[in-house]
Amino acid sequence: MPSFRYGGKKGKKCSLTKSARHVIIRTEDRGKLDPNMLSKKAWKLLEKLELNFQLPGSGVEVHQVRAKRGIKKLCSQVRKTFKIQSDIEFAGRVLLDRKSKVPVIYTENLFVKFQQGQTQRSCKKLLKQYGLSIKRKVSYARNGYFVSGPKGCGQTVFTIAEMLLQEDAVELCHPELIRQTQHRNAFPEQWHLKITTIGQHRIRAHANIEKAWKTTEGEGITIAVIDDGFDLTHEEFSGDNKIVFPWDATRKIEDPRPGSNDNHGTPCAGVACANGHHGASGVAPKARLMPIRLDSGSGSQDEAEALIWAADHGADIISCSWGPGDADWRNTEDPKRKTEYLLPDSTRLALEYVTENGRQGKGCVVTWAAGNGNESVDKDGYASSERVMAIASCNDQSQRSVYSDFGKAVWCCFPSKDYASSARTRGIWTTDRSGAAGYNPGRSRLGDRLGSYTNRFGGTSSSCPGVAGIAALILSVNPKLTWREVKEVIKDSSDKIDQAKGKYDSSGHSEWYGYGRVNASQALKLAKQR
């Protein structure tokens, strides 16, 4: 079975298994598969498949056989038939994570990092010996390269990676392995900012944001939000210098506006730093927004380079409301609960770079959504990284949101949506894509503007940029703080909610709430004392 290692020669060996019911298809023009361009036979076969997921801009689609019988034969027919279609570059087998059975795409590309003492000439020579072509040199890791294997090498890329890793000159090497990115958004008003009355209920479960605004609103600080796309023309992101250094890490252009289904980034950015001039305020309304679109899947090289772009272009905080797939929070038997999602070396080194080199060496503060699977965040190498803060969700009654991930890595929590029958709010009120798209298409309650706001946003996707906004307030009053010191300020200023059930340990940590629900006003007091 194909296998790979993150962490070098002594890293954990992880094996993948071949799927009996999935087929991967890649188009020649890197666009979506067009059924009208297929032969009659291929078109009929396509009707027997169900789209599992796709990687926009790469022409890659993973399909699953609907039938319960004759699966092996049908998959073979699909591969043979689609391979000879003029518009199809590749049709082949799919690899799965052995525990979760989630598809993992290999790209015939590798991440390679040579030992420190190797010269550029010796690095290139060894790569050439293995038939590898340099796509680009990696800026954030010395002697790091993103390379491609021989065209059509297929699963041999795993063998090449393992052989190369055994070379004395090589420190790290693994194939580019991509999983479907899951935005950490739950189901579907500004009760998270201040005491608010909604319907008949007085909601007192906020993060003390409004009081903090008497001191600062995030002036002079830049928040990078890495997500699926952003409505750059939204009225709450208008103004001189509000949006800085926009980037699309997937398409490699300076235009991160959303694709047809990219609804997630706009509300995330709104929770962090919407202006608050028209209908929704972010936690840090006067902070600048650096919108970075990423639609390449978890584990891609683009993922690492999105982080690098943020640090190299002046981001103070980086907010990431996405990660590997969550389990079904209702289903305690979901196999995803048993899956450990390791952090690729390429992304791990990028996180080290942004926390060591960002902000002139003081390090970027990185917030990460803990996840919405009602499972252990400690199995998620992204959110549990020591370089980030894993943000959980609490509800409008100062208790844990039923879906929120838990564990030792949870740093703190922030108010968000809940599904509990006792919930009094529908979600977080924030910016939405304008017009017919978004979470709340149609007429806005604020007047004739269509789809500009939503009250249905939630999940740890909403909590994560909320804490990013608080980090912006902290750095606005004390920009000398390092990223570790910002984490400590948040830790020491958070409120211990739900003390009866929170099970806080002797260090003040709860696996549900971390060190508690963030308190912006108290955090600013501590920040000014540091």
Instruction: Give just the sign of the alpha carbon dihedral 493, 498, 500, 505.
Output: negative
Q: Is 461 a catalytic residue?
A: yes
Residue 260 designated active-site? no
Task: Tally Cβ neighbours within 10 Å of residue 225.
Answer: 30
Give the bridge partners for 25, in sequence order: 61, 91
Is residue 46 within 8 Å of 32, Cβ to Cβ? no
Mean pLDDT, to the nearest integer, of 3-31? Answer: 93
Which of 227, 248, 418, 495 does the annotation list as catalytic? 227
The pair of structure tokens assigned to 144 is 């790091």
- pLDDT at 59 exceeding the cut of 80: yes
* Cα gap 72→77, rounded to integer Å: 9
How many Cα neighbours within 13 Å face the side chain of 284?
31
Backbone phi and psi for residue 313, each to the nearest 5 degrees, phi listed first: -110, 20
- In the set 321, 346, 384, 461, the catalytic residue is 461
Comparing C-alpha atoms, which of 155, 156, 146 is closest to residue 114?
146
* Across 297-313, average pLDDT: 96
pLDDT at residue 29 greater than cutoff 70:
yes
Question: What are 464-498's pLDDT values in tens digits?
Answer: 999 999 999 999 999 999 999 999 999 999 999 99
For residue 511, how many other CB atoms are within 10 A of its CB? Answer: 20
267/473 Cα distance (integer angstroms)? 19
Q: Tell whether the model's pLDDT for residue 121 goes beyond 80.
A: yes
Q: Please determine, for residue 292, whether its predicted confidence score (pLDDT) is greater than 90.
A: yes
Whose CA is closest to 126, among 169, 155, 175? 169
Q: Where are the beta strands (DSSP E) in 370-477?
A: 389-394, 410-415, 428-431, 453-457
Residues 258-276: tens digit of each pLDDT: 988 899 999 999 999 999 9
Q: How confident is the model at residue 320, as a pLDDT?
A: 98
CA 462 remoteness from chain centre: 12
pLDDT in tens, 329-373: 989 888 888 889 999 999 999 999 999 999 999 999 999 999 999
Instruction: Tell me: pLDDT of 252 over 90.
Output: yes
Alpha helices in 85-155 (DSSP H): 120-129
| Catalytic residue chosen out of the listed positions 63, 183, 234, 264 | 264
| Residue 196 in tokens | 């608010």
Enter the pTM of the model. Answer: 0.89
Residue 264 known to be catalytic: yes
Note the pLDDT of residue 227. 97
The DSSP 8-state label assigned to residue 208 in this structure reads S
User: Given a cut of 90, is residue 381 above it in pLDDT?
Assistant: yes
Going by C-beta distance under 8 Å and a sequence separation of 6 or more, which residues neighbour residue 391?
367, 368, 369, 370, 410, 411, 412, 413, 414, 460, 463, 464, 466, 467
Once rounded to an integer, what is the mean pLDDT over residues 413-419? 94
Q: In the chain, what percentage of residues exceed pLDDT 70?
A: 97
d(CA 70, CA 433): 44
Half-sphere exposure of 503 (CA within 13 A, CB side): 6
pLDDT for 318 equals 98
> Which tens digits make up the pLDDT trace of 155-201?
999 999 999 999 999 999 999 999 988 776 543 378 899 888 777 78
Count CB atoms within 10 A of the CB of residue 240. 5
Residue 289 gets which letter from DSSP? E
71 three-state secondary structure:
helix
Kindly report which listed range (43-47, 131-135, 217-221) carries the lowest average pLDDT score. 43-47
The type of residue at 396 is D
pLDDT band at 248 (very low <50, low <70, confident <90, very high): very high
Strand partners, 413: 392, 517
Angle at the Cα of 474 from the Cα atoms of 470 and 480, rounded to 5 degrees: 145
- CA torsion sign, 416 to 418 to 423 to 428? positive
Query: How does residue 57 score in pLDDT terms, banded at 50, 70 and 90?
Result: confident
Torsions phi, psi of 141, nearest 5? -135, 125
Per-residue pLDDT at 52 exceeds 90: no
Give the separation between CA 502 and CA 340, rounded to whole angstroms.
Answer: 25
Residue 483: its H or E element: helix 483-493
447 pLDDT higher than 50: no
pLDDT of residue 254: 97
Residue 55: predicted pLDDT: 81
pLDDT for residue 90: 87
Domains and CATH numbers, the chain: 3-14+103-178 (3.30.70), 20-93 (3.30.70), 206-498 (3.40.50.200)
User: What's the whole-number average pLDDT of the chain?
Assistant: 92
